[in-house]
């Protein structure tokens, strides 16, 4: 079932067209990958969905509701949360305080007991955070910070999690751990729209994907279809790439 739907969405930065009428959808309980080189429009797409950048035309719907150009805080309350590239944690605050701030949009309508329950759940998913709840976020390793950024986003109780380059700057082992957690999240019921330059790793955990070039979608298909596509292999995986 389609959860998120973009229909002919355009957007610009300072008068320059960055998205040129893109259409895509993300299904319930799936990982959908959005792939492409730097400058292709991947992060722009996430920012338009989240209300951080206005759409010039087109429509964005989520669970049957029109989200086009709603305020970012309203979008979060509707059930979409983005983990931005670079994580943007509150470095001087503790891990626990970062998690509590992730639940800010829920605090007026839910009890502190429920918030505490959800902190326990995300710590169960990311055990390393449970060992570091009173440490300042800025003292964590890169992989730990990325897990905290995802955990903080989960504290808003999203139906769809938007991840922007979660492996950026991570060592291969830490990146692998993050990708495994993303897959686990989806299996537990949180849908994921994943922006990632590590095309091979992204498609190994994704169900479906899209390839963006200069603000336009040029390819789409299942992860296996994209992995076996010659153009994808040459452009993103190396011409001698073979699936193992």
DSSP 180-212: HHHHHHHHTT-EEEEE-S-HHHHHHH-SEEEEE
Q: Look at residues 107, 136, 157 and tell me which one is the last residue of a structural domain.
A: 157
Pair 131, 206 in one domain: no
Q: State whether 193 and 209 are in the same domain.
A: yes
Domain match, 19 and 39 both: yes
- Is 84 part of any domain? no
Mean pLDDT of successive 10-residue stretches along the chain, which has 244 residues: 93 90 95 91 94 95 94 93 88 93 80 85 88 90 91 93 91 90 92 92 94 93 92 74 46
Domain of 145, in residue numbers: 89-157
pLDDT value for 231: 85
The answer to whether 118 and 128 have CB atoms below 8 angstroms apart is no
Q: What is the pTM of this model?
A: 0.90
Looking at residue 73, which CATH number applies to its domain?
Answer: 3.40.50.300
**Given the structure tokens 């730990």, which residue do they identify?**
144
Same domain, 72 and 173: yes
Asked which of 102, 128, 157 is the last residue of a domain, the reply is 157
Domains contained in the chain, number: 2
Q: What is the pLDDT of residue 244?
A: 38
pLDDT value of position 13: 83
Give the model's pLDDT for residue 243: 47
The DSSP code for 223 is: H
Same domain? For 120 and 56 the reply is no
Same domain? For 166 and 71 the reply is yes
68 and 164 together in one domain: yes
| Residue 176 shares a structural domain with residue 239 | yes
73 and 1 within one domain: yes
For residue 240, the model assigns a pLDDT of 52
């Amino acid at each position: 079932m389609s959860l998120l739907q973009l229909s002919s969405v355009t957007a610009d930065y300072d008068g320059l067209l960055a998205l040129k009428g893109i259409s895509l959808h993300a299904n319930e309980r799936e990982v959908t990958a959005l792939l492409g080189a730097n400058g292709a429009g991947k992060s722009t797409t996430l920012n338009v969905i989240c209300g951080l950048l206005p759409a010039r035309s087109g429509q964005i719907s989520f669970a049957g509701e029109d989200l086009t150009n709603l305020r970012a805080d309203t979008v979060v309350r509707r059930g979409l949360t983005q983990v931005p590239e670079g994580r943007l944690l509150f470095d001087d605050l503790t891990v626990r305080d970062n998690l509590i701030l992730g639940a800010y949009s829920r605090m007026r309508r839910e009890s502190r007991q429920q918030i505490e329950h959800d902190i326990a759940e995300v710590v169960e998913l990311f055990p390393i955070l449970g060992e570091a709840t009173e440490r300042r976020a800025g003292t964590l390793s890169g992989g730990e910070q990325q897990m905290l950024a995802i955990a903080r986003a989960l504290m808003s109780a999203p139906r769809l999690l938007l991840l922007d380059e979660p492996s950026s700057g991570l060592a291969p082992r830490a990146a692998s751990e993050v990708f495994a957690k993303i897959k686990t999240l989806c299996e537990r019921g949180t849908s994921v729209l994943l922006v990632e330059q590590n095309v091979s790793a992204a498609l190994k955990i994704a169900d479906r994907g899209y390839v963006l070039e200069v603000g336009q979608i040029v390819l789409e298909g299942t992860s296996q279809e994209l992995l076996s596509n010659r153009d994808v292999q040459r452009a993103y995986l190396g011409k001698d790439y073979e699936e193992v």
